[in-house]
Amino acid sequence: TNATQIARRALQAKAKEHITSADEADKAAGRKLSGTPPSGSTTALGSPPRILVVYHNATAAEAGRRRLGWLSDIVDRLKDAIKEHRKMRRSHVDILELYVDPQNPANITEFQKNVDEICSDESVAACEEDQVVKATGTVPNDPSFGNQWGMMSIGAPDAWSVTTGSSAKLPNGPVVAVLDTGVDYTHNDLKDNLWVNQAELNGQAGVDDDGNGYIDDIYGYDFRNQDGDPMDDAGHGTHVAGVIAAKGNNGAEVSGVAWKAQIMALKFLAADGSGLMSDAIEALEYAVDHGAHVTSNSWGGVRFSAALYNAIVANMKANQLFICAAGNEGYDNDAMPDFPATFGIPNMVTVTAHDEDGHIPYWASYGNETIHLAAPGANIVSTVPASLFNESLYTANGTSMAVPHVTGAVALMLAVNPDLTWAQQKEVLLQSGTPLSENDTFLTVTEKRLNVSKALQMTASLTNAVSYPATATVAAGATVNVTVEVDAVTAGQYGATLDIHSGGSSVESSLRLLALGGSSLSPALPASLSVGKSAVHVPSPAVEVPIANGGTGVLAVQVQDVTGDHANDFEVLPPRGMIVTVSPNQESHLVKVRCIPSKSGTRTATLHLATNEGSP
């Protein structure tokens, strides 16, 4: 009726008073109604249909719920229709169960009116029909899988429906370098998932067959003892390797996150768990030189080291993610830095542990600015050398056990899309997580725990690259342009591989594409930054460049150059050409600058950044 329409407009006007100017921008950017139950819907007639009302944010949800209460008081039809109203306060979603009279021929029309009444408000980002879900996923037949609560917690069975770790581009699976106490390469659940240096395997014993400077490095290398036998003499590294890549669905023992990944065994820790940082640095270089896609680092506890810092930066330049442990001291790493965990280098993902209830244990270190993500790390069953433990499985606790869950997730992501950049891998890991419990908020950067199932869903959405023309005829001396389009879900750097076939020959070209989106660099960058004082040839502390996104789209920032008379004395991270993305209303702590002065006196330079706003 006209009275209802007038009341509705008045209530909408009231609701708008509670929405901030930032929310108005959100609405302009993305408000849409994504569908309501049509006639013949499987959710209608016979069982109460449900709609999901999605609000822009907490403020909009409060205003929308208040408005819905007012409408229910004014519109009797709506009051009678809403049979159940459940409020998801963390996700800003309402679940509404609506009554539909199956005897009334006009029930669908009535239902549509109710949905329109509920959804046609500017506080609502989207309305969706509830969907029928089916139990799915791949559950392996390994006898101890039932004890691996961590695999269920991260959504591994659903992820295994997508991939178990190999693909057409990576038929043997991604290569995962495990820097630890070594790996038992004879273990029944690991022996088929080892990286193998074929030149050394098929070469002569005691000879450096591939000329890489390491003799007999068949499965990796032992940097602690400087030989080619990375056999585990402690159990820690084998436990880590089992979480990553114990062979799944083979009727034996346990399953790793990535059943078909290749473990590169890089031993640098002794049987007592100690090792030299220099050995770790060498192991990191070996990992890059020999094609590892990602490194797993369940170790730490050193002071700040420029050498180790640079080693990790080198891995970043080689498009390698560095996943490391937060530590088991129960410290706030923001206040009490522990390295390498708190280096803050962009290609790092620092992981703390959570238990079976989803809580971060008292012994797990944390940090709202330095620790990115939580993953299963309590009572974790995995592989160990039977020669040391008199059994082949062992239950352990620690952030060391959390790291390989994340590393295995990255291996699965790379199986789906081998062209992912380190930045994409990190972005997917951090965005796809499941929220931690209320008591554990502010203990990590994301306030989330690992969800590999969602990570693979996001990864799959990054693979939609189309090139055209698909087939072309090129005359001698002529040129044909090929267009590549990528369906990007966020701003940032995307990878793709262009395969060109002609007759019996083919060539591959790796592409890096920049996807842009609406954003706002606000507040503006400061005119100058000081990195403090430092002795000649001694690195200064790294200083963050304050980058904040005050808009509603994702902000992409590219490091372009450092210029000036003293430019060579300055180091910027990430390196030139790389891109950092910043979500709406968030700040980035990834772009950092430090000075390594070559001479005494004041050193100055100019840092050049470009954003998707269109101006440097």
The answer to whether the beta carbons of residues 480 and 453 sit under 8 Å apart is no
Which two structure tokens, joined as six digits, stand for 376? 């299963």
Which two structure tokens, joined as six digits, stand for 350? 């620092």
How many percent of the chain have pLDDT more than 70? 78
Give the contacts of 399 (CB within 8 A, at least 6 positions apart): 298, 325, 326, 327, 328, 351, 352, 353, 364, 365, 377
- The three-state DSSP-derived secondary structure of 466-528 is EEECCCCCCCCCCCCCCEEEECCCCCEEEEEEEEEEECCEEEEEEEEEEECCCCCECCCCCCC
Looking at the structure of the chain, the number of domains it has is 4
Q: What is the mean pLDDT of residues 247-259?
A: 85
List pLDDT tens digits, range 494-534: 666 677 877 777 776 666 665 655 556 777 788 888 888 88
Instruction: Classify residue 10: in a domain, yes or no.
Output: yes
pTM score: 0.63
User: Where residue 309 falls among pLDDT bands split at 50, 70, 90?
Assistant: confident
Instruction: Classify residue 477: in a domain, yes or no.
Output: yes
The answer to whether the beta carbons of residues 102 and 49 sit under 8 Å apart is no
Residues catalogued as catalytic: 180, 236, 400
Instruction: Classify residue 136: in a domain, yes or no.
Output: no
| Residue 156 scores a pLDDT above 80 | yes
- Are 125 and 202 contained in the same domain? no
List pLDDT tens digits, range 564-589: 999 888 888 877 777 777 777 778 77
Structural domain ending residue among the three candidates 442, 461, 480: 461
- Are 292 and 265 contained in the same domain? yes
List pLDDT tens digits, range 464-505: 555 566 777 888 888 888 877 665 555 555 666 677 877 777
State the residue range of the domain holding 481: 465-515
The answer to whether the beta carbons of residues 458 and 428 sit under 8 Å apart is yes
User: Where residue 287 falls among pLDDT bands split at 50, 70, 90?
Assistant: very high
Instruction: Classify residue 138: in a domain, yes or no.
Output: no
Query: Would residue 45 be called left, alpha or beta, if left means φ above 0 and alpha means ψ between -120 and 50 degrees?
Result: left
Instruction: Classify residue 134: in a domain, yes or no.
Output: no
User: Where residue 187 falls among pLDDT bands split at 50, 70, 90?
Assistant: very high
- Are 346 and 449 contained in the same domain? yes
What span, in angstroms and rounded, lies between the C-alpha atoms of 384 and 230? 14
| Residue 30 scores a pLDDT above 90 | no
- CATH label of the domain that carries residue 284: 3.40.50.200
Instruction: Give the model's pLDDT for residue 390.
Output: 85
Instruction: Give the model's pLDDT for residue 137.
Output: 32
Least confidently predicted of 187-191, 227-231, 392-396? 392-396
- Are 57 and 168 contained in the same domain? no
| Residue 19 scores a pLDDT above 50 | no
Instruction: Give the model's pLDDT for residue 67.
Output: 86
User: Where residue 42 falls among pLDDT bands split at 50, 70, 90?
Assistant: very low
| Residue 143 scores a pLDDT above 80 | no
Q: Which of 247, 26, 215 is nearest to 142 (CA)?
A: 247
What span, in angstroms and rounded, lies between the C-alpha atoms of 27 and 14? 16
Which two structure tokens, joined as six digits, stand for 199? 């030149």
| Residue 273 scores a pLDDT above 50 | yes
Q: What is the mean pLDDT of residues 415-422?
A: 89
Instruction: Classify residue 544: in a domain, yes or no.
Output: yes
The answer to whether the beta carbons of residues 441 and 447 sit under 8 Å apart is yes
Q: Is-cis flag, bond preceding 385, omega within 30?
A: no
List pLDDT tens digits, range 93-139: 677 777 766 666 556 677 777 778 788 888 887 676 664 322 223 33
What span, in angstroms and rounded, lies between the C-alpha atoms of 227 and 213? 11
- CATH label of the domain that carries residue 547: 2.60.40
- Are 317 and 456 contained in the same domain? yes
Look at 8 and 511; give whichever has higher pLDDT.
511
Q: What is the mean pLDDT of residues 319-330?
A: 93
| Residue 162 scores a pLDDT above 80 | yes
Instruction: Give the model's pLDDT for residue 23.
Output: 31
User: Where residue 26 falls among pLDDT bands split at 50, 70, 90?
Assistant: very low
List pLDDT tens digits, range 52-83: 677 766 788 888 888 888 877 777 777 777 87
- Are 164 and 295 contained in the same domain? yes
User: Where residue 188 falls among pLDDT bands split at 50, 70, 90?
Assistant: very high
Helix 399-416 crosses helix 422-431 at what angle (to 10 degrees)? 120
Least confidently predicted of 129-133, 290-294, 368-372, 403-407? 129-133
Q: What is the mean pLDDT of residues 6-29?
A: 33
Structural domain ending residue among the three candidates 69, 99, 129: 129
| Residue 455 scores a pLDDT above 90 | yes
- Are 257 and 372 contained in the same domain? yes
Instruction: Classify residue 376: in a domain, yes or no.
Output: yes
- Are 352 and 243 contained in the same domain? yes
- Are 541 and 524 contained in the same domain? yes
Instruction: Give the model's pLDDT for residue 466.
Output: 57
Structural domain ending residue among the three candidates 445, 461, 477: 461
Instruction: Give the model's pLDDT for residue 140.
Output: 42
Q: What is the mean pLDDT of residues 26-33?
A: 30
| Residue 2 scores a pLDDT above 70 | no
Instruction: Classify residue 510: in a domain, yes or no.
Output: yes
HSE-CB for 60 with a 13 A CA cutoff:
24
How many percent of the chain have pLDDT more than 90? 34
- Are 230 and 173 contained in the same domain? yes
User: Where residue 462 falls among pLDDT bands split at 50, 70, 90?
Assistant: low
- Are 559 and 412 contained in the same domain? no
Instruction: Give the model's pLDDT for residue 37.
Output: 32
Instruction: Give the model's pLDDT for residue 3.
Output: 38
Q: What is the mean pLDDT of residues 169-186?
A: 94
- Are 274 and 387 contained in the same domain? yes
